[in-house]
Amino acid sequence: MRPMSADEFTDALRGLSHRYWGTHPFHHRMHAGELSQPELQVWAANRWYYQSAIPRKDAAIISNCPLPEVRRQWLPRIVYHDGATPGEGGMERWLRLCEAVGLSREEVLDERHVAPGARFAVDAYVGFARTKPWVEAVASGLTEMFSGHLMKARVADMLAQYEWISPDDLAYFTNRIDAVAGEGQATLDLVIEHSRTRAEQDAAIAALSFKCDVLWSLLDAIERAASKK
């Protein structure tokens, strides 16, 4: 099989948008203002586990990549999430959201609320990044192509629907909207450049599909755990 053109390949990747977790029923309920505070707590505490794994996923990509120029391009992502100094960074902003929904830092950090299914989904993502070729792990992160739209809606909808949530509480999302706007195209360019054969392109599409499954499954586990609250 001949390789797809860059446009065909991009269209195939973007074509997975319907599998992104933006359409998950739990997200619909969140945006509609139908979640109770305990349900939002389950969401925030479980998704913390995902947030806390991202720097390790990104370091796995760097560890597997023999190209210094790609490693240099990818390294700021670790700094983005971990922060350059304590008290900064995406993980810290997520912890602030956890506190806004009424969780203590301690109960978030000790992972007592993390549902097994959420843990398995996130661990599968880190394991994917550790064991697959780096370009596939990069491709799995292309859910960023779909996330800007969802996060913009989230900020607007949560502020409208949950009066006890303030704009500062949502700093994770407002900051991340800007970040993915820049990262999205650069990541896509990287995947296109390093997926030259049809087999490599298909593997990149499968990686993005896998990542959609990770997120969806994570949210399934959250929905199930939240339903007990």
- Which tokens sit at 153? 């809606």
- Verify binding: residue 45, its own copies, rule CB under 8 A: no
Q: Residues binding its own copies: what is the number (CB under 8 A)? A: 28
- Verify binding: residue 140, its own copies, rule CB under 8 A: no
- Only one of the segments 20-28, 56-64, 138-146, 203-211 lies at the binding site for its own copies (rule: CB under 8 A); that segment is 56-64
Minimum CB distance to its own copies, residue 57 (Å)? 8
Toward its own copies, which CB reaches closer, 130 or 149? Answer: 130
Separation between Cα atoms, residue 229 and residue 226, nearest integer Å: 5
- Verify binding: residue 72, its own copies, rule CB under 8 A: yes
Instruction: Tell me which of 1, 2, 18, 86 binds its own copies, using CB under 8 A.
Output: 86
- Only one of the segments 21-29, 40-48, 70-78, 141-149 lies at the binding site for its own copies (rule: CB under 8 A); that segment is 70-78
- Only one of the segments 14-22, 80-88, 172-180, 191-199 lies at the binding site for its own copies (rule: CB under 8 A); that segment is 80-88
Looking only at residues 90 through 109 of this chain, which bind its own copies when binding is defined by CB under 8 A?
91
Minimum CB distance to its own copies, residue 60 (Å)? 4
For the four alpha carbons of 207, 209, 215 and 217, in that order, the dihedral sign comes to negative
Amino acid at site 107: E
3-state SS string for 160-227: HHCCCCCHHHHHHHHHHHHHHHHHHHHHHHHHHHHCCCHHHHHHHHHHHHHHHHHHHHHHHHHHHHHC
**Maximum CA pair distance of the chain?**
55
Separation between Cα atoms, residue 127 and residue 130, nearest integer Å: 5
Instruction: Tell me which of 2, 18, 66, 116 binds its own copies, using CB under 8 A.
Output: 66
- Verify binding: residue 75, its own copies, rule CB under 8 A: yes
Burial pattern 10-48, b for ≥16 Cβ within 10 A else e, equals beebeebeebbbbebebbeebbeeebeeebbbbbbbbbb
Instruction: Tell me which of 41, 46, 51, 52 binds its own copies, using CB under 8 A.
Output: 52
For the four alpha carbons of 131, 134, 136 and 141, in that order, the dihedral sign comes to positive
Minimum CB distance to its own copies, residue 150 (Å)? 26
- Verify binding: residue 68, its own copies, rule CB under 8 A: yes
Binding site for its own copies (CB under 8 A): 52, 55-57, 59-60, 62-66, 68-69, 71-72, 75, 78-79, 82-86, 89, 91, 126, 129-130
